[in-house]
Structure 1
Amino acid sequence: MHIDDHDRGLAHDLETLAKSAQQRRRALLWLAGTGAVSLLGCGGGSASAGTSSSSSSSSSSSGSTTTSTCSVIPEETAGPYPGDGSNTANGSIANVLTLSGIVRSDIRGSIAGASGTAAGVPLTVTLTLVDTGSSCADLSGYAIYLWHCDRDGKYSLYSSGVTDQNYLRGVQETDSNGQLTFTTIFPGCYSGRMPHMHFEVYRSLATATGSTNKLKTSQIAFPTDVCSSVYASTGYSASATNLGQISFATDNVFSDGTTLQMATVTGSVAAGYAAALTVGIAA
């Protein structure tokens, strides 16, 4: 659900001042003959695709807040398959965050004694973490745990046939630019949900050991046309069928908007794809 945008208190006054200041800056830049994008873009170094710049007091999902320059990504459910120590799988606590080797960039293979590898169209996912309370400054030294289903729509640890696997799950630390990149496969589409990925943000690698330490949980959305192209390739036939029966408007997570969660995706089935999203949090 959306945050109420009818409050006319202090937040509205501050926002109005910010808008005025931004308009003055634009006018000065125009007079000087310089471009405004570099000054007004979401700051901190990287202008990755997916950055949201806004001075609106409303946002696309429950739990979102905004500043004069960028927005906090919506808080979303971790779903039933997080593998972060918050629930059980096969009668025992499922927590890949404690496994040796979980801190990695390539998450296609299983680790810690499991040997399976998830097949599918290659995809790299680059996330840029920024602080909405500090002019969208890049957040280095934080950790992000990313997980998603395979091309059959199954989640390792939980789904029938892959309970002995832990692939498509991994943790990385943000670099000096607030960035990290995972190498994975394009996720499948299972019945009832649009294609997506889950992630949790942690203060550091040291604290990324269980869900009780997480700062934020959200999800990544993917453009429908890209999903259709991927699902026309070998191995994704079930996903193609499921995608034809769902839309963002009927999805139980994304139906209230995807502005802050929609990845920008480039590439092809033959060459693989690259997705990018800037993630704003109130650090």
Structure 2
Amino acid sequence: MDRKKFLRNGLFGLGAIIALPTAISSCSKDNDNESSDDTGNNSGGDCSVSPTETKGPFPILTPAQYVRASIIGDRTGVALLMTLTIEDQSNGCTPLANVFVDVWQCDKDGLYSQYNTQTSANYLRGRQTTDQNGKVSFISIFPGWYPGRAPHIHVEIVTPEGRSLLITQIAFPVSTYTSVYATDGYNGAPDTSNTQDSIFSNSLSGNMADSVTGNNTDGYTLLKKITVA
């Protein structure tokens, strides 16, 4: 599947997504405007447990109500296709299959659904189940920012029985978010950088996306390995 067509389609409410991890794997070879770590190292072959972070604006409604690959809803912004690979440190960092991965993020204006003025909305939240390779994929938009925080995405790993294995956050390379936030519709440079962020201050290398590739026209592909204990 062509990455550019996939991302564009996603912005118009893409429904069922078939063989998505394979599509993303091939997309990762596309190195236009690739960024990995201007202010944090990607994890590479590291088997360290990913940083534990605050839940933040966690969904009020049961995440199971939002089982979906496209989480865009009615929001607009630069397309973002993300694949997360979940590994189990206690089992030699092998892929962790059949666990739930919940993601949630703010929109381009820094607003979360289900909070403050957005209590009746449920955009940019979703759940997927990892495949046998420990992978899930979501199509979204590049998040905006709000005062006091660097750009980020929230992630929680949950067992089928409902036990939380890890709550973490994903950070973005400065060069990438600087480029995105210069486009129409976003609110310019954030007031807090990765290194100034209170959440990322002692864990940035573990939070940083492993790779972010793409451009503002066709969208971006994010890859991130997350390791649970």
Q: Map 1:136-215 onto structure 2 (within 5 A).
A: 136-160=93-117, 162-204=118-160, 207-208=161-162, 213-215=163-165
Give the 3-state SS of the residue equivalent to 1:255 in structure 2.
Answer: coil
1:260 equivalenced with 2:206 (yes/no): yes
Q: Distance in 2 between matches of 1:258 and 1:276?
A: 16
Structure showing greater relative contact order (alpha-carbon pairs closer than 8 Å, 6 or more residues apart) = 2
Give the 3-state SS of the residue equivalent to 1:219 in structure 2.
Answer: strand
What residue is the counterpart of 1:248 in the other structure?
A: 194
Q: Distance in 2 between matches of 1:97 and 1:266?
A: 28
C-alpha deviation, 1:52, in angstroms = 4.1
Gaps of 5+ in 2: 1-24, 29-35, 37-41
Query: AA paired with 1:246?
Result: T
Q: Distance in 2 between matches of 1:51 and 1:138?
A: 15
Gaps of 5+ in 1: 1-45, 55-69, 84-93, 110-116
Within the candidate set 60, 69, 91, 1:105 is matched to 69
Instruction: Give CA-to-partner distance per residue, 1:162-221, whole Å, 9 cap, x none.
Output: 2221010000000111001000000001111000010110112xx35xxxx312100000
Specify whether residues 144 and 98 from structure 1 end up closer, same or farther in structure 2 by C-alpha distance, changes over 3 A only.
closer
- Could you state the TM-score of these two structures normalised by the residue count of structure 2? 0.78
Identity %: 41
Equivalent residues, number: 190
Q: Distance in 2 between matches of 1:121 and 1:261?
A: 21
Contact 1:52 1:260 survives alignment (8 Å): no
Q: RMSD of the TM alignment (CA)?
A: 1.7
Query: AA paired with 1:155?
Result: Y
1:128 equivalenced with 2:85 (yes/no): yes
Q: Distance in 1 between matches of 2:223 and 2:145?
A: 19
Q: Distance in 2 between matches of 1:230 and 1:223?
A: 11
Contact 1:220 1:262 survives alignment (8 Å): yes
Give the 3-state SS of the residue equivalent to 1:200 in structure 2.
Answer: strand
Contact 1:261 1:277 survives alignment (8 Å): no
1:119 equivalenced with 2:76 (yes/no): yes
- Could you state the TM-score of these two structures normalised by the residue count of structure 1? 0.64
Query: AA paired with 1:269?
Result: N
C-alpha deviation, 1:255, in angstroms = 0.8
Structure with higher Rg: it is 1
What residue is the counterpart of 1:113 in the other structure?
A: none
Q: Map 1:40-119 onto structure 2 (within 5 A).
A: 50-54=42-46, 70-79=47-56, 81-83=57-59, 94-99=60-65, 102-109=66-73, 117-119=74-76
What residue is the counterpart of 2:185 in the other structure?
A: 235
